[in-house]
Structure 1
Amino acid sequence: MIYPNNFEEKIGFDKIRQLISDKCLSLLGKDKVHEMDFSIHYEEVKTRLGCTEEMVRILQLEDEFPANYFFDVRIPLKRIRVEGTFLDEPELFDLRRSLETIRDIARFFKNEKEGEARYPYLTEMTANVMLFPQILISIDKILDKFGRVKDNASPELARIRREIIHTSSSISRSLQSIMRAAQAEGIVEKDQAPTMRDGRLMIPVAPAYKRKIKGIVHDESASGKTVFIEPAEVVEANNRIRELEGEERREVIRILVRMADEIRPFAEDILGSYDYLGEIDFTRAKASFSIEINGILPTFENKRQIDWQRAIHPLLYLSHKKQNKSVVPLDIELDEKNRILLISGPNAGGKSVCLKTVGLLQYMLQSGLLIPVYESSRTGIFHDIFIDIGDEQSIENDLSTYSSHLTNMKHFVRRCNENSILLIDEFGGGTEPQIGGAIAEALLDRFNRNMSYGVITTHYQNLKHFAEDHEGIINGAMLYDRHLMQPLFKLSIGNPGSSFAVEIARKIGLPEDVIADASEKVGSDYIDMDKYLQDIVRDKRYWESKRQTIRQKEKKLEELSERYEEDLNKIAAQRKELMAKAKADAERILAEANAMVENTIRKIKEAQAEKESTRLARKEMEEFKAKLAEQEAANDDMIARKIKKIQEREERKKQGKPQKPVEGQKKVFRPEIIETGDAVRLKGQTTIGEVLEVSGKNALVAFGMLKSTVQLERLEKMSKNQIKKETPKSTFVSQQTADDIYERKMNFKQEIDVRGMRGDEALQAVVYFIDDAILVGVAQVRILHGTGTGALRQIIRDYLKTVHGVKKFRDEHVQFGGAGITVVELE
């Protein structure tokens, strides 16, 4: 139930209805907009919202959805119910094109049904739509692509039109001959040509020469300087043309009547399909409006609740958008515990806008429209919406504003229940404050006991106290900047608000002695309480700001923790990979050992088991086994040290410590001493390796992926300058470079916002961003460019097409930004 009758006008829904109607492509859709109503049935509302949300996705993602011909041919279809009537050529052509659109839309959703049903609600709507392929075929047989009856629609029509063409050609030749003769005699100007007047070809002649040409004068120009003569030679032919045109019209009507006879049995079914076409047009208009106001489908549940984040009044948003101004969003929550929100605060602080926003968005939602709120919002359904707002003074009914207010309250008290939501502005106002406040308090108590929901604005202190003392009612305040003396238009729930009457009076220049007298009359208790309210609001704003900062830092910390955990998982994967490689190396070495054993056995057999030969073979075997054991130990040690290095580096990053300790003294390069970690090369060679371990006179050196035990005397120690001079830059990635890349990866954000930038600025930022993304190896990034004119989006996407590292890109999901965000997947 909606109360009062002018509810839509009060909350602004009548303007919403008009905006949606303007977006319709036909009268079919406009009629559906007029029929749009408030529903209290959960499944019906859910279906309406689902259809609108799916159409939003179609408009944003689909390029092939049919939306060309939404013609309204309902009146002509009803007219041909009578035998002998027909659709004229334009009407028949409109019928043909609109039936084709219905067929194409049904085919679009039929393909969806056969595959993955991405649009289940719209597909279900299309399930019972009737199509008329035979009628389309029949119309195509008689109409050409321009909507005119074809020459071959019947043999008789073809004959008539051939004769018209032949006769017209004969008339043209005769006139041309007469014109040339008249021009030769100077009767007609050289640049004149035959002219069509009243459907007959004539010769324009100056009045002085009109008797020089035999024929009939039919007309003269407005200036009187030219007369139009039909030569006698072509009068009969022109008459024949008239006769043929009449025959042609009669034959065309006969063909159209025959076509109407074929359509007539299906007229009612066609009208049913037109109802579907109107529903699609209406849904498309709703979706287009939703995109314009950034409307989405939040969580919708079959219970009484309002839990909205960043809700925006759509009409205020569109108005401010034209002026390049922003709208302060509204956060509001009504649930079973706190059902009634009592809002107080200064005048012109946004209380009424808040109340109208709640009423309008709830009404829009239950009318099947998407609403501009944040994705995490939760919505519910109410059976009754009652509103009392504005000046209801009526001269005709002899009602004052307060009387009208009480009349509404009488209706609210009688009808409100747990399924109702009440929207009351300036509760209790319009009469003497003491009794007005008392009546308002009694009404508020009744509303609360009836378990109703509501948003109520007031200035009365007794109502604020009542809300504090009674469960089910919660205070709220519209915030006000005491220093700048201006409203913030932001709702804060939990504490009552101050009217800031003294501060506002002082700001507008009311004499200080008047303010002092007023303060004395009202008493220090009231002034102190108002001051305490202001302090509470100020402190709450401060702590709210602090809490927001903490939330942002916590979120950033969580992101860092997730990245840290992800990197640890990668370390584990790297360790697993290294162990697998070490195992493969061990298997290879074991195969070599087996070959060595077989070779030893062969040598023993060839030497006929001589004692000395056997001893030497066994010695070689023992040395090989020792070498294997040494290399295996070195591999294990190297893996352990690499993992330890990675973990230490991660720990230093987490604690914010520098990756390398700062030394107070520069290390002296001593070429004669080779230690673990030194860069070396074999004497006479160019390949540079790293010393992994020094054992006596030998060292274990890693040359890239190859490790070898080499005598120290065969090695040459390399300084950093030598490495820079002698080693090509592309042969390895230094530890510093690797650390820099790792640092970038740790701090890389997978989203960039280029809204508001010029095209060249945005493109440069995106180039750097994509380069970094490819460098650190992320799989997916997001680019926020907004919708606007689409120019910025096109520039960015043209660039992405040229980048080899980009796998593909697409629009973000509509609930997370839609066409205003490009999601890029990287190889």
Structure 2
Amino acid sequence: MIYPNNFEQKTGFDQIRKMVHEKCLSTLGQHYAAKMRFSASYDTVKTMLDQTEEFRQILMTGENFPASNYYDPFAVFDRIKLEGTFAEADELGEIRSSLVTISDILSFLQSRKSEDKLKYPVLQNLGGHIYIEPSVLKELNRVIDEQNQVRSNASATLSEIRRNKIQLESQAGKRINSILHQAKKEGWVASDAELAFRNSRQVLPVPAAYKRKIRGFVHDQSSTGQTVYIEPEEIFEINNELRQLELDERREIVKILRELADVIRPFLPQLREAYFFLGKMDFIRSKAKIALQMDAQKPRIDNKTQINWIKAKHPLLWLSYKQQKKYVEPLSLELKDQNRIIVISGPNAGGKSVCMKTAGLVQYMIQCGMLVPMEDYSEAGIFKKIFIDIGDEQSLENDLSTYSSHLANMQHFIKNVDEHTLFLIDEFGAGTEPRLGGAIAESILEELADQKAFGIVTTHYANLKILAGKREGIINGSMLFDTQNMRPLYRLKTGNPGSSFAFEIAKTMGLPLELLQKAEKIAGEEHIDFDRQLQDLELKKLELDEKEKQLKSGDAFLSEMIEKYEKLNGDLNQQKSHIITEAKREAKKILAESNRMIEKTIREIREASADKEKTKQLRAGLEEYAHLQEPDETGAPLESKSRKKEKNKKKPQPDEPRIIPGPLAMGDHVRIIGQQSIGEIIELGDKDAMVAYGSIMMKSPLKKLEKLSKASSNTRQSVKVKYDFDINEKASEFSPHLDIRGNRADAALTKARRFVDDAILLGVRQLKIVHGTGDGILREALRDYLRTLSEVKRARDDHPDRGGAGSTLIELR
């Protein structure tokens, strides 16, 4: 059910229908465009959307879909359904061409496959039952030629008649040309005179003064009477014979066309189905072309009442702005079981009504089988009823005022809404005394909520905003407003009511300050405070949203760090197992060597017959071997340690670095005075230099650096960084948001340096520094510092809603 009867005019769907009508190639498709209706059947809506989407894919891929000879033959079919009737040759020629088009469409859909599956199964299913009797096309081709005329060989009689006709026409033509030539020679006709036709016969244009010079039949004269048109007597009989042949030809053609109609007549039901299919394809093609024009897509369709649209645009507004190369703010809207009704408030001309009309038009288009401009992962539901109350319905004939017409609509809403209804109400409660109108609107809204209906309501009334904040199933929404530039943003934000910004807009428009102050007193401090609280609430909401984004970013970073930690822990455990295995293997080796040494000593003692001196030497050797197997403080056997010392003795010791005087240049090896770590200059400024110490880069003043000889490059020490903090703890405590307002420039830059350094260390790429506007000193100092950092990819002002020039967004490489 759709209410009211002029729903399409109110939402603008009548213009969409007109566009579909104009895109159709034939009256067949236009007939379907005129009959296009809202459907509450899930299966029907899904099928219609799938059909349009498949045709959109055909158009996007540029495939050669048959798009000519879309002919409407239903008037001809109605005429030849009776025995003895016939269709003209040109009509039959159009039918033949369009039947070829239908056959080509069926072949196209059947032949398009992907991995042995039909590429366009829904469209193919639409024509799956279509059958064109081959004998019909065969007979049409036999009788009708390429110029849509009856062929001469359609019958032996017609062939004979046309042959005789050609001979007589040739004979008559030669004779009348001879008479014309003779008349010119005698001066009876003008020298430039040409043959003319009157009553389907060739005649001579003869001046009235000479009309008796040529014997014949006068067919006509000019308007002045000075020229008469004479058929010469000599060709009169020939022309009579030609006229008779023409009558015979027409009689034979009618006979042939009747016979052809007799062939077609039994197959009229099948042919009607085929042309219904052709008209539907024309209609679907038109919808698909409009979808491409407005960048429309098919959302996900569920068999339930819901709206979960992502970046939806008002189709007509989008097309208009697209031609003007203007931007349209998309609408993201979600209405589900928990939050079925949204009360939208905000400034005048802020987009509230456009938002509501977008919802009404887009939902109606979806349920008419049309694609809509939104993201394809949006979710759309099916509503059985859509009610709308927009605009002024006052009527002098029915004695209805504006408010009375609104109440009449509300009466219809209350009686007919249910859980499958979507209602749209613009400026709810307006048109009467505000306090009373607001009370009535509140009670109606509660009743609609009790009926579990879905809806969108726009209002300025505070009591409706308060109701939405506490009543289950109803939520607030606001149209955002740029308070710095005092202009609407046309963006819907759900969760909080919006301020009307009446005084702010009036001030911007130039109303006197004294007048506005007086208006504030009239309105009362309580009302003004409430409106300002709404504004403050919106600003706080934006700040909370920003902090939530930061927390999510920090949470994601922390998760990444935990993952890295777990991986590192796993690697350490694996290394630990490997070390223990190697230690056991080494212990077994030492034990075996010890046993061998002991056995050797015992054997030699026995062989020495317990000689004391020999026994003493063997015991000393055994003690020395045991001492070498004892581990040192590092856990390595002394034997291994002694071997390492011997190896180290063999290695040449590097030369000591040598300090050389002179100015510093790119690529020089330097170190900080009093330090041992040697680095290389990779960037050189007037006062500072960027020095690379292995993978660590540090900016140092030139006066604190000393230049080293190139020969000392071999002595460069690898830089090991030892963290004196828990990086996991630092990651969990780090915030990508820094506030330096109230600080002096030097203290603020110190904080900023630490902040950026920590971000680089932790791998954070998006930062925000709040410095305020003021005189712009902090902002300029911060920007100058950021320009010196190669790690900074970009630094820019924040969005006007979130601080504008008072905040700097930093993007790291």
TM-score category of the 2 structures, normalised to the smaller one: 0.5 to 0.7
> What is the match of residue 211 of structure 2?
210
Is 1:66 aligned to 2:71, yes or no?
no
For residues 71 and 342 of structure 1, the distance between their equivalents in structure 2, rounded to whole angstroms, comes to 50
> What is the match of residue 246 of structure 1?
247
Q: CA RMSD in A?
A: 3.1
**Superposed CA offset, 1:123-169 (max 9, x none):** 11111112122101001001101100011011111111111110010
> What is the match of residue 323 of structure 1?
324
Q: How far did residue 395 of structure 1 move?
A: 1.7
For residues 666 and 75 of structure 1, the distance between their equivalents in structure 2, rounded to whole angstroms, comes to 102
**Superposed CA offset, 1:332-370 (max 9, x none):** 111122111100012221111111100110010011000
For residues 222 and 668 of structure 1, the distance between their equivalents in structure 2, rounded to whole angstroms, comes to 116
> What is the match of residue 200 of structure 1?
201
- Is residue 78–residue 267 contact of structure 1 (8 Å, CA) maintained in 2? no
For residues 306 and 511 of structure 1, the distance between their equivalents in structure 2, rounded to whole angstroms, comes to 45
SS of equivalent residue, structure 1 residue 212: coil
Change in Cα spacing, 1:542 to 1:255, as seen in structure 2 (3 Å) is: farther
SS of equivalent residue, structure 1 residue 169: helix
> What is the match of residue 420 of structure 1?
421
For residues 217 and 552 of structure 2, the distance between their equivalents in structure 1, rounded to whole angstroms, comes to 95
Q: How far did residue 520 of structure 1 move?
A: 1.3
> What is the match of residue 133 of structure 1?
134
Is 1:235 aligned to 2:239, yes or no?
no
Q: How far did residue 668 of structure 1 move?
A: 4.9
For residues 211 and 551 of structure 2, the distance between their equivalents in structure 1, rounded to whole angstroms, comes to 99
- Is residue 112–residue 123 contact of structure 1 (8 Å, CA) maintained in 2? no
For residues 71 and 658 of structure 1, the distance between their equivalents in structure 2, rounded to whole angstroms, comes to 81
**Superposed CA offset, 1:20-54 (max 9, x none):** 01111111111111221111111111111000000
Change in Cα spacing, 1:86 to 1:657, as seen in structure 2 (3 Å) is: farther
**Superposed CA offset, 1:182-225 (max 9, x none):** 23323334443322333211223333333332222322344555
> What is the match of residue 528 of structure 1?
529
> What is the match of residue 43 of structure 1?
43
For residues 353 and 544 of structure 1, the distance between their equivalents in structure 2, rounded to whole angstroms, comes to 25
> What is the match of residue 356 of structure 2?
355
**Superposed CA offset, 1:432-463 (max 9, x none):** 11121111111221222222111100111011
> What is the match of residue 27 of structure 2?
27
In structure 2, what residue type is equivalent to 1:94? E
**Superposed CA offset, 1:794-813 (max 9, x none):** xxxxxxxxxxxxxxxxxxxx
In structure 1, what residue type is equivalent to 2:444? L
> What is the match of residue 80 of structure 2?
80
> What is the match of residue 307 of structure 1?
308
For residues 439 and 331 of structure 2, the distance between their equivalents in structure 1, rounded to whole angstroms, comes to 30
> What is the match of residue 13 of structure 2?
13
Q: How far did residue 554 of structure 1 move?
A: 12
**Superposed CA offset, 1:510-564 (max 9, x none):** 3333322221122222212212222333454567688889999999x99x99xx9
Change in Cα spacing, 1:537 to 1:177, as seen in structure 2 (3 Å) is: same
**Superposed CA offset, 1:739-777 (max 9, x none):** xxxxxxxxxxxxxxxxxxxxxxxxxxxxxxxxxxxxxxx
For residues 202 and 155 of structure 1, the distance between their equivalents in structure 2, rounded to whole angstroms, comes to 32
> What is the match of residue 257 of structure 2?
256
For residues 714 and 433 of structure 2, the distance between their equivalents in structure 1, rounded to whole angstroms, comes to 99
Is 1:470 aligned to 2:471, yes or no?
yes
> What is the match of residue 500 of structure 1?
501
Q: How far did residue 669 of structure 1 move?
A: 8.4
TM-score in terms of structure 2 length = 0.67
**Superposed CA offset, 1:474-517 (max 9, x none):** 11111223333332221111111111111233333433333222
In structure 1, what residue type is equivalent to 2:474? I
SS of equivalent residue, structure 2 residue 118: coil
SS of equivalent residue, structure 2 residue 97: helix
- Is residue 132–residue 270 contact of structure 2 (8 Å, CA) maintained in 1? no
> What is the match of residue 289 of structure 2?
288
SS of equivalent residue, structure 2 residue 530: helix
> What is the match of residue 121 of structure 2?
120
Q: How far did residue 413 of structure 1 move?
A: 1.9
Change in Cα spacing, 1:221 to 1:326, as seen in structure 2 (3 Å) is: farther
SS of equivalent residue, structure 1 residue 177: helix
Q: How far did residue 241 of structure 1 move?
A: 1.1
SS of equivalent residue, structure 1 residue 491: strand
Change in Cα spacing, 1:657 to 1:450, as seen in structure 2 (3 Å) is: farther
SS of equivalent residue, structure 2 residue 117: coil
Residues matched between the structures, number: 580
Q: How far did residue 234 of structure 1 move?
A: 0.9
Moved more, 377-386 or 481-490: 481-490
Change in Cα spacing, 1:342 to 1:661, as seen in structure 2 (3 Å) is: closer
In structure 2, what residue type is equivalent to 1:268? P
- Is residue 427–residue 440 contact of structure 1 (8 Å, CA) maintained in 2? yes
- Is residue 342–residue 474 contact of structure 1 (8 Å, CA) maintained in 2? yes
In structure 2, what residue type is equivalent to 1:88? E
In structure 2, what residue type is equivalent to 1:302? N
In structure 1, what residue type is equivalent to 2:389? D
Q: How far did residue 10 of structure 1 move?
A: 1.3
- Is residue 110–residue 118 contact of structure 2 (8 Å, CA) maintained in 1? no
For residues 87 and 383 of structure 1, the distance between their equivalents in structure 2, rounded to whole angstroms, comes to 46
For residues 188 and 553 of structure 1, the distance between their equivalents in structure 2, rounded to whole angstroms, comes to 105
For residues 241 and 154 of structure 2, the distance between their equivalents in structure 1, rounded to whole angstroms, comes to 22
Alignment of 1:598-637 (within 5 A): none
> What is the match of residue 453 of structure 2?
452
- Is residue 113–residue 123 contact of structure 1 (8 Å, CA) maintained in 2? no
For residues 543 and 124 of structure 1, the distance between their equivalents in structure 2, rounded to whole angstroms, comes to 52
For residues 178 and 692 of structure 2, the distance between their equivalents in structure 1, rounded to whole angstroms, comes to 105
> What is the match of residue 679 of structure 1?
none
Q: How far did residue 427 of structure 1 move?
A: 0.9
> What is the match of residue 56 of structure 1?
56
Larger Rg, first or second structure (1 or 2): 2
Alignment of 1:479-498 (within 5 A): 479-498=480-499
For residues 302 and 57 of structure 2, the distance between their equivalents in structure 1, rounded to whole angstroms, comes to 22
Unpaired runs of 5+ in structure 2? Answer: 565-681, 683-690, 698-704, 716-813
> What is the match of residue 682 of structure 1?
none
SS of equivalent residue, structure 1 residue 211: coil
Q: How far did residue 265 of structure 1 move?
A: 1.1
> What is the match of residue 386 of structure 2?
385
- Is residue 345–residue 478 contact of structure 1 (8 Å, CA) maintained in 2? yes
Alignment of 1:658-737 (within 5 A): 668=710
Q: How far did residue 657 of structure 1 move?
A: 8.4
> What is the match of residue 648 of structure 1?
none
- Is residue 99–residue 132 contact of structure 1 (8 Å, CA) maintained in 2? no
> What is the match of residue 170 of structure 2?
169
> What is the match of residue 664 of structure 2?
none
Change in Cα spacing, 1:84 to 1:545, as seen in structure 2 (3 Å) is: farther
For residues 268 and 658 of structure 1, the distance between their equivalents in structure 2, rounded to whole angstroms, comes to 89
- Is residue 130–residue 270 contact of structure 2 (8 Å, CA) maintained in 1? no
Change in Cα spacing, 1:186 to 1:669, as seen in structure 2 (3 Å) is: farther
In structure 1, what residue type is equivalent to 2:158? L
In structure 2, what residue type is equivalent to 1:79? R
Q: How far did residue 295 of structure 1 move?
A: 1.0
**Superposed CA offset, 1:649-690 (max 9, x none):** xxx9xxx989988998697589xx999xxxxxxxxxxxxxxx
- Is residue 477–residue 496 contact of structure 1 (8 Å, CA) maintained in 2? yes
SS of equivalent residue, structure 2 residue 460: coil
Change in Cα spacing, 1:468 to 1:668, as seen in structure 2 (3 Å) is: same
SS of equivalent residue, structure 1 residue 421: strand
Q: How far did residue 325 of structure 1 move?
A: 2.5
